[in-house]
């Protein structure tokens, strides 16, 4: 992976072009200064981004949260991002090369820092709701990767026992409310979960991830309004990758503002833009928002500027062994290259190496370790049994073993419930 | 006559209906499907080019918005179409259609007129996408709503004819658009024609047994009917085409002739269109024997093993018919 990125950086430099800006897309980054990394000595090892709040209400920044992470935690962030990267790269390569492969993906590569930075700010017993592009959320929140691999190929021992697949991965015991294939409602049930958690009084919070298109739905606005009005302990993280689906519609054609985070102003809560390609930047903001929520001060809207390397869905424009989808009609390869050059995994690796937390060799070894882990996960998944046909009639209810097979000529006319 | 694909037939229907009405006061919203249709040897139909970007618009993602915007356009007198192709979001237009479009004419004492069509896509054919994306149930929802016509073509001919009927009508229509049919093409008339509402189509004539289905259920029904015919059984196969109003006359007459009625639905068993078919026939006949097969009362599971087991197919139809004939 590093090879690709370095070449890409060179290519981009050679072209003498910086990042391609589309309708001031990167203006937010310039304003926040989020991409400025200041390396110093001693304990202040890491970047101190000067994030400006986008909305009128500031998000408290008197603490720089990444500073308080241990070396182990900082390395763990890298491990999680690598797991996400290689999980989806493996899915992509299998889609490209294995005939009859049953899995598919809305690929996460590019979005790793958003999920990992945000989930690192949560406790295990805090709850998180994902969206249709959600492999990264599941891994970041700690879902079992083998079972995830089994799920996306519909195996009986998958996280969802083969009932859901890629768009519906759920593992309740790590605090996942599940992914959702319908764009929008996750913010309502995420905030609703936050409301219930507050009533329970154990200091838990809830977090919803959404794509940029969330901002075009009614759910986005009603959940922010209600959560703000009632100070619900909830954090809303928007991963703005600029595009909607495979039509290639640009988000700027669908909303009337440059930064989604500014919509927080209307609800009188903090709204901030962060660099979604920087795991520490994401972590810093989400951690501050989580602390604010736990302290009873209500929700925060956080917009991560990011990019998806693959196509909206599947592997159009991708090649086996190569990261990303090229030649898609709706975006330029140069735009993709400019984002690849800011790869979140590369960036964090550099941070770890330059601050002496990992040697280059250790960083390579970490990546190899993760690759092996993912290979093993898919190998395990492939050996798992498929569900039994009749099991489709199960799990409709908790309190009913199965429903009647109404497509069969000899289906019994009724069953007794009493 | 010329060969046209499903989508081309629908686009041609829209254009011809507007020509017949003599208007281009027309509003069209779409999300995933750009309204450009081609057919070999025929002129390309490009709605945006023809009517302009002010009238033919990409909607963005919010289905509730453009379902409602369609209603608004119709209320001020434009012919309005909501090309709702996001079947995982089918409940969204339901609110607008059932609670507003279907009730306004009545509630306003006959003032509000709604010349709108909500073209609602239904999927339900393939495994792998699980509950939200593989579902087939909008037929049952909309058929229940008074104040709106609910049609569901299963042939290219009807796809065009029902579109013309719907667009020309002063009343709101729900036009259910089965995703399995998008690959169909057929030799159909180039001139405009309407398919009347409330009129079922008899696809095969017979005297031993009546099979009734609609939409994508017709695929299984026709496959089963063919197998039965191979066994020398005389099958009458009825395609409802219009769920509300439902063609009770054709149903009752056929049932009286054959004495046996099998309904086939891709929709969930409980309150599927077949349930209404059986109720109407039972209400107005004596001694008819019935059987109903449908998707079980469960969401469609993702795994192909489970989904394919549950989705009614030609073999299910054949076996249910055989059992019914033994009764
Ligand atoms: C309500 C609804 N409408 C449409 C779709 C089809 N769809 C799936 S993802 C998507 C685009 C979502 O864009 P965004 O929120 O930016 O997320 P991204 O895919 O870019 O991560 C669309 C239109 C859907 N799943 N749900
Ligand atoms: Mg997006």
Q: What is the C-alpha separation between A155 and A173, in angstroms, rounded?
A: 20
Statement: residue A5 has pLDDT above 90? no
- Using an 8 Å Cβ cutoff, are B296 and B269 in contact? yes
Q: Which two tokens stand for residue B201?
A: 């189509």
B contact test, residue of A407, A408, A412, A417 with most B CBs within 10 A: A407
Statement: residue A2 has pLDDT above 90? no
Pairing label, strands B185-188, B2-5 = antiparallel
Report whether residue A183 contacts ligand 1, using a CB cutoff of 6 Å.
yes
Question: In chain A, whose CA is at the least distance from the CA of B308?
Answer: A389
Token pair 């929802």: residue: B141
Q: What is the C-alpha separation between B239 and A269, in angstroms, rounded?
A: 56
Q: Which atom of ligand 1 is nearest to the CA of A132?
A: 9
In this prediction, residue A320 carries a pLDDT of 98
> DSSP assignment of A31-99, as one string?
HHTTT-----STT--S----PPBSSSSPPP-SS-GGGGS-HHHHHHHHHHHHHHHHHHHHHHHHHHH-T
% of chain A exceeding 70 in pLDDT: 87
Token pair 């309150």: residue: B271
Q: Please report the domains of chain B, with CATH numbers, ordered by start residue.
A: 2-188 (3.40.50.970), 201-325 (3.40.50.920)
Cis bond upstream, residue B326 (ω within 30): no
A213 touches chain B (CB under 8 A): yes
In this prediction, residue A349 carries a pLDDT of 97
How many other β-carbons are positioned within 10 Å of the β-carbon of residue B98?
A: 18
In this prediction, residue A16 carries a pLDDT of 35
Give the residue from A244, A228, A246, A248 showing the smallest Cα distance to A236: A228
Q: How confident is the model at residue A277 (pLDDT cuts 50, 70, 90)?
A: very high
Q: Which two tokens stand for residue A232?
A: 């619900």
The string of pLDDT tens digits covering residues A209-264 is 999 999 999 999 999 999 999 999 999 999 999 999 988 999 999 999 999 999 99
- Using an 8 Å Cβ cutoff, are B321 and B228 in contact? yes
List the alpha helices (DSSP H) in A257-397.
Answer: 279-294, 333-340, 344-354, 360-382
Q: How confident is the model at residue A113 (pLDDT cuts 50, 70, 90)?
A: very high
List of chain B residues with pLDDT < 70? none
Question: Would you tell me the crossing angle of helices A71-97 and A112-119 to the nearest 10 degrees?
Answer: 140
Q: How confident is the model at residue A3 (pLDDT cuts 50, 70, 90)?
A: very low
In this prediction, residue A29 carries a pLDDT of 31
Pairing label, strands B201-204, B235-239 = antiparallel
A415 touches chain B (CB under 8 A): no
Tell how far the Cα of A107 is from the centroid of ligand 1, in angstroms.
Answer: 13
Token pair 């080019």: residue: B49
User: Minimal Cα–Cα distance from B148 to chain A, Å?
Assistant: 25
Token pair 């309740």: residue: A172
Q: How confident is the model at residue A322 (pLDDT cuts 50, 70, 90)?
A: very high
Going A354 to A360 to A362 to A365, the CA torsion angle's sign is positive
A160 touches chain B (CB under 8 A): yes
Q: Which two tokens stand for residue B169?
A: 């009508």
| Contact: B295, A154; criterion CB under 8 Å | no
A243 touches chain B (CB under 8 A): no
- The values of phi and psi at residue B296, to 5°, are -60, 165
Report whether residue B61 contacts ligand 1, using a CB cutoff of 6 Å.
yes
Q: What is the 3-state secondary structure (H, E, C) of chain B?
A: CEEEEHHHHHHHHHHHHHHHHCCCCEEEEECCCCCEEEECCEEEEEHHHHHCCCCEEECCCCHHHHHHHHHHHHHCCCEEEEEECCHHHCHHHHHHHHHHHHHHHHHCCCCCCCCEEEEEEECCCCCCCHHHHCCCCHHHHHHCCCCCEEECCCCHHHHHHHHHHHHHCCCCEEEEEEHHHHHCEEEECCCCCCCCCCCCEEEECCCCEEEEECCCHHHHHHHHHHHHHHCCCCEEEEECCEEECCCHHHHHHHHHHHCEEEEEEEEECCCCHHHHHHHHHHHHCCCCEEEEEEECCCCCCCCHHHHHHHCCCHHHHHHHHHHHHHC
Q: How many residues are present in chain B?
A: 327
B contact test, residue of A169, A242, A402, A409 with most B CBs within 10 A: A409
The string of pLDDT tens digits covering residues A39-81 is 332 333 344 444 556 777 888 877 899 999 999 999 999 999 9
Which residues of chain A are within 8 Å of residue B313 when distances are taken between CB atoms? 407
Q: Which two tokens stand for residue A325?
A: 């989808």
In this prediction, residue A384 carries a pLDDT of 98
In this prediction, residue A99 carries a pLDDT of 94
The string of pLDDT tens digits covering residues A121-153 is 999 999 999 999 999 999 999 999 999 999 999
Q: How confident is the model at residue A116 (pLDDT cuts 50, 70, 90)?
A: very high
Token pair 């979005």: residue: A111
CA distances from B1 to B11, B42, B47 (A): 16, 11, 22
Q: What is the C-alpha separation between A388 and B308, in angstroms, rounded?
A: 11
Q: Which two tokens stand for residue A8?
A: 């890409």
Q: How confident is the model at residue A24 (pLDDT cuts 50, 70, 90)?
A: very low
% of chain A exceeding 90 in pLDDT: 83
Question: Helix or strand or coil: residue A361?
Answer: helix
The string of pLDDT tens digits covering residues A179-198 is 999 999 999 999 999 999 99
Q: How confident is the model at residue A37 (pLDDT cuts 50, 70, 90)?
A: very low
Token pair 């009749």: residue: A390
In this prediction, residue B60 carries a pLDDT of 86
Going A65 to A67 to A71 to A76, the CA torsion angle's sign is positive
Task: Give me the active site residues of B, please.
Answer: 133
Q: Sort residue A310 into left (φ over 0), alpha (ψ -120 to 50) or beta.
A: beta
Q: To test ligand 1's pocket by mutation, which of A180, A184, A213 has the most ligand atoms within 8 angstroms of CB?
A: A213
In this prediction, residue A60 carries a pLDDT of 80
In this prediction, residue B199 carries a pLDDT of 98
Q: Please report the domains of chain A, with CATH numbers, ordered by start residue.
A: 3-35 (no CATH), 58-386 (3.40.50.970)
B305 strand-pairing partners: none
Tell how far the Cα of A132 is from the centroid of ligand 2, in angstroms.
Answer: 11
Mean pLDDT score across all residues of chain A = 89
| Contact: B309, A390; criterion CB under 8 Å | yes
């Amino acid at each position: 992976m590093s090879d690709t990125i370095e070449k890409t950086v060179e290519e981009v430099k050679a072209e003498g072009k910086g990042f391609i800006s589309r309708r001031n897309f990167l203006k937010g980054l310039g304003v926040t200064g989020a991409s400025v990394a200041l390396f110093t000595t001693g304990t202040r090892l890491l970047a101190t981004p000067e994030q400006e709040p986008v909305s009128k209400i500031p998000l408290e920044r008197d603490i720089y949260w990444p500073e308080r992470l241990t070396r182990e935690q900082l390395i763990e962030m890298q491990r999680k991002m690598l797991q996400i990267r290689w999980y989806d790269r493996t899915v992509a390569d299998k889609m490209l090369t294995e005939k009859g492969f049953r899995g598919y993906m809305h690929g996460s590569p590019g979005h790793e820092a958003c999920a990992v930075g945000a989930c690192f700010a949560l406790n295990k017993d805090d709850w998180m709701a994902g969206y249709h592009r959600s492999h990264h959320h599941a891994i970041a929140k700690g879902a079992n990767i083998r079972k995830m691999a089994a799920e996306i190929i519909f195996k009986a021992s998958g996280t969802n026992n083969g009932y859901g697949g890629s768009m519906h991965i759920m593992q309740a015991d790590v605090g996942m409310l599940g992914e959702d294939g319908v764009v929008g409602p996750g913010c309502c049930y995420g905030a609703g979960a936050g409301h219930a958690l507050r009533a329970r009084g154990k200091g838990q919070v809830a977090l919803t991830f959404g794509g940029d298109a969330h901002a075009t739905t009614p759910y986005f606005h009603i959940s922010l309004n209600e959560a703000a009005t009632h100070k619900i302990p909830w954090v809303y993280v928007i991963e703005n990758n600029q595009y909607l689906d495979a039509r290639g519609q640009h988000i700027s054609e669908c909303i009337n503002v440059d930064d989604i985070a500014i919509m927080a102003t209307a609800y009188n809560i903090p709204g901030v833009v962060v660099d979604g390609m920087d795991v520490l930047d994401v972590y810093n903001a989400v951690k501050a928002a989580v602390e604010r929520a736990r302290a009873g001060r209500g929700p925060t809207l956080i917009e991560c500027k990011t990019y998806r390397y693959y196509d909206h869905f599947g592997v159009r424009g991708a090649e086996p062994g190569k990261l990303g989808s090229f030649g898609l009609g709706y975006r330029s390869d140069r735009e993709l290259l400019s984002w690849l050059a800011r790869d979140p995994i590369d960036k964090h690796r550099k941070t770890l190496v330059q601050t002496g937390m990992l040697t280059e060799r250790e960083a390579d070894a970490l990546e190899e370790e993760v690759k092996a882990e993912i290979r093993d996960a898919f190998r395990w998944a492939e050996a798992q049994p498929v569900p039994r046909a009749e099991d489709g009639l199960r799990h409709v209810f908790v309190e009913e073993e199965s429903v009647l097979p109404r497509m069969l000529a000899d289906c019994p006319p009724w069953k007794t419930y009493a | 006559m010329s060969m046209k694909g499903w989508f081309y037939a629908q686009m041609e229907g829209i254009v011809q209906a507007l020509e017949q009405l003599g208007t281009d006061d027309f509003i069209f919203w779409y999300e995933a499907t750009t309204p450009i249709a081609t057919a070999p040897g025929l002129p390309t139909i490009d709605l945006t080019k023809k009517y302009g970007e002010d009238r033919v618009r990409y909607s963005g993602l919010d289905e509730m918005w453009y379902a409602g915007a369609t209603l608004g356009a119709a209320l001020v007198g434009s012919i309005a179409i909501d090309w709702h192709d996001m079947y995982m979001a089918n409940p969204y237009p339901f609110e607008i259609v059932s609670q507003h479009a279907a009730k306004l004419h009545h509630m306003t004492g006959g003032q509000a007129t709604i010349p709108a069509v909500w073209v609602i896509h239904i999927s339900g054919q393939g495994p792998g996408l699980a509950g939200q994306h593989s579902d087939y149930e909008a037929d049952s929802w909309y058929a229940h709503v008074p104040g709106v016509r609910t049609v569901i073509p299963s042939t290219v001919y009807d796809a065009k004819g029902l579109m013309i009927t719907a667009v020309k009508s002063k009343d709101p229509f729900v036009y259910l658009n089965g995703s399995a049919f998008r690959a169909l093409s057929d030799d159909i008339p180039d001139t405009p024609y309407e398919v009347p509402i409330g009129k079922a189509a008899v696809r095969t004539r017979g005297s031993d047994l009546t099979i009734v289905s609609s939409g994508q259920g017709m695929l299984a029904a026709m496959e089963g009917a063919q197998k039965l015919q191979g066994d020398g059984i005389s099958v009458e196969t009825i395609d409802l085409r219009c769920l509300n109003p439902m063609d009770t006359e054709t149903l009752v007459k056929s049932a009286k002739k054959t004495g046996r009625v099998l309904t086939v639905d891709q929709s969930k068993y409980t309150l599927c269109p077949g349930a209404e078919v059986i109720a109407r026939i039972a209400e107005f006949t004596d001694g008819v024997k019935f059987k109903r097969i449908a998707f079980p009362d469960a969401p469609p599971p993702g795994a192909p093993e489970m989904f394919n087991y549950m989705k009614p197919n030609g073999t299910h139809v054949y076996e249910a018919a055989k059992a019914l004939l033994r009764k």
